[in-house]
């Protein structure tokens, strides 16, 4: 076992090897519509190792306020063996790992559905991801089609940590170069049908001085609207952050590529949507999730406008439901709608658009309403939140 290599002098060679431009090849990644077949399974490249520092960095960059993701002492006091990665980071990473196979040729990410966080991720864990193509909807030879895919992230013990569905819009290959083949898949496609989350939570409240007194489960009722005070100006940082979570789509960091596109994506690199969602969730966190001990999931997530470097994003939350948590009186499950706006404060957006801010953009036409171009994102989230009495 092992190999011994002598390091000999490295002789210059380039002038001796004839150059023939016809020997050029142009590897392409992602899949065109014709290359996506329902039932097809991809194992995604590289994987991703989490450690305390990249977890803290992700949480803080995106304005996270829940101490569970910022303070290891707090996490341990609540029963976790170590600082857990924020579900938002697990989502960003898993989705990004899939880009090279799933969507590096996609023209748009249409939506996130049934995102489920099945297990915590801790420092030292290495994740990898798998995708199955569920459905391909062709809309004729002149139009991009829509693929529905299912992605699962697993840890180094092959345990599912996250699963979700996504719809993407993808064009036909036409006379473009075919994309690079995927490797053999090493594992049966994973996934859990009726997942149970097991959390090592303590019954007793702990370190309550580190969170506010009026953001317990008991403080929320269906219909409450919470307007989050602070915004965040996104800078060109987003280009590096894209690949820091593993996303390889050039739309987000290659100005030559993005300015060469035609249509409304043409121009400056677009901020990867996962990062936009992360900022919005962070901006909302001190008002609605600082007492959350688990994010159960998301659904119906849509990026309704792109964001660019220089944009300032803001967030609003509307409470949709407050339910008992199964088997425990110490927590409740709060379902909420998270809305993002840009280049207008959240308060001004509510003044300007009123309740229409909370109507899904793709339902607007059917309701005879105008789309709201200040609005950039909408999603429904479900969280496990501690009760005050606990």
Task: State which of positions 44-103 bind its own copies (CB under 8 A).
Answer: 44-49, 51-54, 56-57, 60-61, 63, 65, 67, 70-74, 79, 83, 100
Distance of alpha carbon 274 from alpha carbon 234, whole angstroms: 13
Are residues 67 and 210 in contact, defined by beta-carbon separation less than 8 angstroms? yes
Distance of alpha carbon 158 from alpha carbon 180, whole angstroms: 26
Q: Which window, 14-22, 84-92, 144-152, 166-174, contacts its own copies (CB under 8 A)?
A: 14-22
Minimum CB–partner distance for residue 166 and its own copies (Å): 15
Q: Write out the binding residues for its own copies, residues 262-321 only, by CB under 8 A.
A: 269, 286-287, 290, 294, 296-300, 312, 314, 318, 320-321
357 φ, ψ (degrees, to nearest 5)? -60, -30
Are residues 129 and 97 in contact, defined by beta-carbon separation less than 8 angstroms? yes
Q: Which window, 31-39, 134-142, 166-174, 326-334, contacts its own copies (CB under 8 A)?
A: 326-334
Provide Rg for the chain, Cα atoms: 23
Contacts 24+ apart (CB under 8 A), 257-263: none
Does residue 40 belong to the site contacting its own copies (CB under 8 A)? Answer: no
How many residues are present in the chain? Answer: 390
Minimum CB–partner distance for residue 19 and its own copies (Å): 4
Residue in 135, 308, 343, 374 binding its own copies, rule: CB under 8 A = 343
Minimum CB–partner distance for residue 141 and its own copies (Å): 25
Minimum CB–partner distance for residue 243 and its own copies (Å): 5
Minimum CB–partner distance for residue 146 and its own copies (Å): 19
Tokens of 283: 């901006």
Compose the 236-265 pattern: x for residues touching its own copies by CB under 8 A, - for all others: xx-xx--xx-x-x-x--xxxxx--x-----
Are residues 278 and 225 in contact, defined by beta-carbon separation less than 8 angstroms? no
Q: Which is nearer to its own copies, 41 or 172 (CB)?
A: 41
Tokens of 80: 């976790």
Q: Write out the binding residues for its own copies, residues 174-233 only, by CB under 8 A.
A: 180-187, 194-203, 207-214, 222-233
Compose the 133-162 pattern: x for residues touching its own copies by CB under 8 A, - for all others: -----------------------x------
Distance of alpha carbon 117 from alpha carbon 287, whole angstroms: 22
Contacts of 173 (CB under 8 A, 6+ apart): 32, 33, 34, 35
């Amino acid at each position: 076992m092992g190999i011994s290599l002598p390091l000999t002098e490295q002789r210059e060679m380039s002038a001796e090897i004839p150059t023939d431009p016809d020997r050029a090849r142009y590897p392409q990644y992602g899949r065109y519509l014709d290359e996506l077949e329902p039932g097809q399974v991809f194992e995604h490249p590289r994987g991703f190792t989490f450690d305390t520092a990249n977890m803290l960095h992700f949480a803080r960059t995106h304005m996270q306020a829940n101490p569970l993701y910022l303070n290891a002492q707090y996490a341990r006091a609540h029963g976790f063996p170590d600082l857990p990665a924020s579900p938002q980071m697990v989502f960003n990473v898993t989705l990004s790992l899939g880009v090279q196979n799933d969507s590096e040729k996609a023209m748009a990410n249409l939506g996130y559905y049934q995102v489920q966080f099945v297990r915590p991720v801790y420092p030292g864990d290495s994740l990898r991801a798998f995708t199955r193509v569920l459905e391909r909807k062709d809309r004729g030879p002149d139009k991009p089609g829509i693929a529905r895919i299912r992605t699962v992230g697993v840890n180094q013990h092959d345990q599912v940590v996250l699963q979700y569905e996504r719809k993407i819009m993808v064009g036909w290959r036409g006379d473009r170069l075919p994309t690079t083949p995927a490797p053999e898949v090493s594992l049966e496609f994973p996934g859990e049908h009726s997942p149970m989350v097991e959390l090592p939570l303590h019954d007793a409240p702990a370190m309550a001085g580190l969170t506010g007194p009026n953001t317990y489960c008991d403080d929320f009722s269906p219909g409450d609207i919470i307007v989050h005070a602070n915004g965040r100006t996104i800078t060109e940082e987003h280009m590096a952050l894209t690949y820091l979570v593993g996303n390889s789509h050039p739309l987000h960091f290659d100005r030559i590529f993005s300015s060469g596109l035609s249509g409304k994506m043409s121009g400056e690199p677009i901020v990867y949507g996962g990062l936009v969602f992360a900022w919005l969730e962070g901006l909302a966190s001190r008002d609605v999730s600082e007492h959350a001990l688990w994010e159960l999931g998301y659904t119906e997530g849509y990026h309704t406008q792109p964001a660019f470097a220089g944009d300032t994003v803001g967030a609003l939350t509307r409470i949709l439901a407050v339910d008992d948590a199964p088997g425990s009186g110490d927590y409740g499950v709060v379902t909420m709608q998270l809305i993002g706006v840009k280049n207008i404060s959240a308060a001004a957006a509510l003044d300007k658009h009123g309740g229409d801010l909370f109507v899904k953009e793709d339902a607007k036409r059917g309701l005879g309403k105008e789309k709201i171009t200040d609005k950039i994102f909408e999603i429904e989230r479900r969280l496990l939140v501690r009760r005050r009495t606990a």
